[in-house]
Chain A
Amino acid sequence: MTNPAVQPPASAYFITPEKEATEARTLAVLVDNEPGVLARVIGMFSGRGYNIESLTVSETEHEKHLSRITIVTRGAPHVIEQLKSQLDRIVPVHRVVDLTTSAGATGESRPIERELAIVKVAGHGEKRVEALRLADVFRAKVVDSSIEHFVFEITGRPSKLDKFVALMAPLGLVEICRTGVAALSRGKEGM
């Protein structure tokens, strides 16, 4: 719920609620792997009021000291454009690519997006059998088990993971850990 528009001139600022529809975008950000770089990126997001739905970071080119940050964010299109410029302005940021937009430009609906989850489920009898059967349907691997629990490893699009987790909830879901989205564009070109 946004604040109702204050009738001018009661404020030192003109306050308008944001009315535009938001959309999710997946951004790939290539940065120098140096101390504090992640803080710069996420500090910019929180400082300017942008959303982070998912974030993954890892060094991708060791010799060049480059890390790749994948961020799923949500906002109105003009806000996302502004956000990308703000990212690009950070000194150790080399490149910012909007994978969602570039996928759209080549006629794809989305870039390749994958996430891994580890899911712990405990239970007995029917529920236990059902959990294992569903895990099989979702191509989740059993990575740990006892007669009272399973730990599944599952990879896929975030929506698939959401579905799997939702199905496990009534079957004795104990805890989950997700990596966040890793993403690449389709086709032979790099970013």
Chain B
Amino acid sequence: MDSKADSKAPEMTGAREMTGAEMVVQALIDNGVTDIFGYPGGAVLPIYDEIFQQSEVRHVLVRHEQGAGHAAEGYARSTGKTGVMLVTSGPGATNAVTALQDALMDSIPLVCISGQVPTTLIGSDAFQECDTVGITRPCTKHNWLVKDVNDLSRILHEAFHVARTGRPGPVVVDVPKDVQFATGMYSPPPPSQTHESYRPKLSAEPERIAAAVALLAGAKRPMIYSGGGVVNSGPEASRLLREFVGMTGFPITSTLMGLGAYPASGKSWMGMLGMHGTYEANLAMHGCDVMLCIGARFDDRITGRLDAFSPGSKKIHIDIDPSSINKNVRVDLPIIGDVAHVLKDLVAAWKEAGAVVDREALAEWWAEIETWRARDCLAYRPSEDVIMPQYAVQRLYEATRGRETYISTEVGQHQMWAAQFYGFEEPNHWLTSGGLGTMGYGLPAAIGAAIAHPDALSVCIAGDASVLMNMQEMSTAVQHRANAKIFILNNQYMGMVRQWQQLLHGNRLSHSYTEALPDFVKLAEAYGAVGLRCDKPRDLDDAIAEMLDVDAPVLFDCRVANLANCFPMIPSGKAHNEILLPEEATDEAVAKAIDAKDRVLV
């Protein structure tokens, strides 16, 4: 999104002759790429030969192409730059598909360069041939098969442009081996990319901004619902979001992907919304009268039952992708544009119009929200004998507080607990697979973040089942001294699957128990990493401190309560106000809490 962060001023070298393989490396350099993730093979050998003969681009060798993709995603998400992966033809390309779809659903800028069999052999079922552009067409923003070496540099620059502008996403450039060997003219990236048919709209019409100001200023129960688009739009978007929330005092919630855009310690923060979001955020969404959706897409995990979703509100939707407007939920005021551009105009228009909020109504609204908050929907029963998974995340948060920390997750209960209990203060520090829900994302993503930020902490909060899906990347972490800390909340179950089976399938736990887990400590040692284990709450803080201090990748086997479930939860097909709460949030506790609150109010 933020092209400034991504592209160094192109070196004005002018067009010159080189081989296709040289062009690939030159285009990476000219597009500001310093690190790529990849795996060699027959159809990319010429490119690997060029990589060998230069030192400007660092190549991180992974152990599986899916790992390369997720590592590049973690790198991209934690830096705001474009992630780059390099894979060979056939299985190299097909292994990249999961990561490409993941990047597509979470709008992560990712350039995948794949080798292809020579053009003369395409279609002949050659060794390691597959129809890469055909297979990746629906899981990329755009893709290209380069048949002429003289098109290669233009296409590569266009690929970077398409990946990082507009709604960011993955692209594939498929380069046949004969094109890599051929010699042609290389042109550096044009100073400004223009494209005939691809022109994302950045700024919105002033009338729409004015209409939004009028709606928001008239709101009695306003609600801001922000998403990953704020993070993608760049740091300025988060700054403007904070400014706008500060100016208005409106309550704000966020999707899973948007965590950190507004700080968890902020005064107006209500926690995440959606299926495992907080009670207060979901009830406020249900009861608000004006909703400002910023860079989010009304995903089904957010809305719950559509016909009961925030029934009484006027909805304003800011999004750079026109196809996100009115897709699931019909909105009253669509504003198509980049979040940072639109928020800048919105803040300016708000000030210019001298808009003021309805203080009295807002105070009443906040008082109502406080009664919901008092229910303490994230409560869990602490234990002195076993580590509660929520407690583990809380202790990890306390231990890393104040340090530059990038948190990635796999997918499942641990992911939700991380989102609920870890306080994110800054954007780009939270790496998770939201849209596709890819188990196996977190470990390689943490490696990508560690490569990008060698002096910061990179911690993957993982589950025992997910982490095994790309466990082979521990080897990558060790080889490249990517000191990712893999913090496994080990309950020996696929916890989220089990939770659904308990709630919806008569407690028949069909294949959600892992009968034979590896010994994670020995596994870590086998990889040449450090293995730690902890199963007592009283030992946890010391063990976490050891994990953070050791100068190596770590697999931390944190044995947690096996049967803990993730609450609150809105079962699918239910509305926001039909949320299930943990047993701890009893009516009695609530009555007490509300009484206490009322006394404070009085």
Contacts and interface: CB of A to CB of B under 8 A. Distances in A.
- Chains A and B form a bound pair: yes
Contacts of B300: 13-14
A90 B323 CA distance: 11
B323 A88 contact: yes
Given A8-B573, A39-B134, A94 B326 contact: no
B199 to A, nearest CB: 10
Interface stretch (A77-85, A98-106, A154-162, A175-183): A77-85
B327 A82 contact: yes
Contact of A10 (B304, B327, B504): B504
B138 A91 contact: no
B571 interface: yes
A93 interface: yes
A87 to B, nearest CB: 9
Contact of B330 (A31, A32, A78, A86): A78
Contacts of A85: 322-323, 325
B306 A14 contact: yes
A10 B307 CA distance: 18
B305 A8 contact: yes
B573 A9 contact: yes
B137 A36 contact: yes
Interface residues of B, number: 31
B393 interface: no
A12 B574 CA distance: 11
A35 interface: yes
A139 interface: no
Nearest to A40: B137
A41 to B, nearest CB: 11
A16 B133 CA distance: 34
A125 to B, nearest CB: 52
Contacts of B326: 78, 81-82
Interface in B269-321: 300, 304-307, 321
Interface string A14-30: 11100000000000000
Contacts of B305: 8, 14
A89 interface: yes
Interface in B91-140: 133-134, 137-138
Sort chain A's interface into a size bin: 20 to 34
Contact of B323 (A12, A32, A82): A82
A8 B138 contact: no
Contacts of A82: 323, 326-327
A36 B572 contact: no
B341 interface: no
Contact of A12 (B134, B306, B500): B500
Contacts of A47: 138
Contacts, number: 73
A36 B133 contact: yes
A89 B325 CA distance: 13
B571 A32 contact: no
B541 to A, nearest CB: 37
Given A82-B326, A91-B197, A35 B145 contact: yes
Interface in B140-178: 141-142, 145, 162
A7 B572 CA distance: 10
Contacts of A3: none
Contacts of B504: 9-10
Nearest to A46: B138
B327 A16 contact: no
Given A36-B133, A82-B327, A16 B571 contact: no
A91 B198 contact: yes
Contacts of B198: 91
B516 interface: no
A16 B573 CA distance: 9
Nearest to A85: B323
Nearest to B500: A12
Given A8-B574, A78-B330, A89 B321 contact: yes
A16 B307 contact: yes
A11 interface: yes
B304 A14 contact: yes
Contacts of A13: 300, 572-573
A9 B307 contact: no
B196 interface: yes
A20 to B, nearest CB: 12
Contacts of B306: 14, 16
Contacts of A93: 197
B503 A9 contact: yes
Nearest to B133: A36
14 contacts: A6-B573, A8-B572, A13-B300, A13-B572, A14-B572, A14-B573, A35-B145, A36-B133, A43-B137, A43-B138, A44-B138, A86-B323, A89-B322, A91-B195
For the complex of A and B, 3 pairs with smallest distance between CB atoms: A8-B573, A85-B323, A9-B571
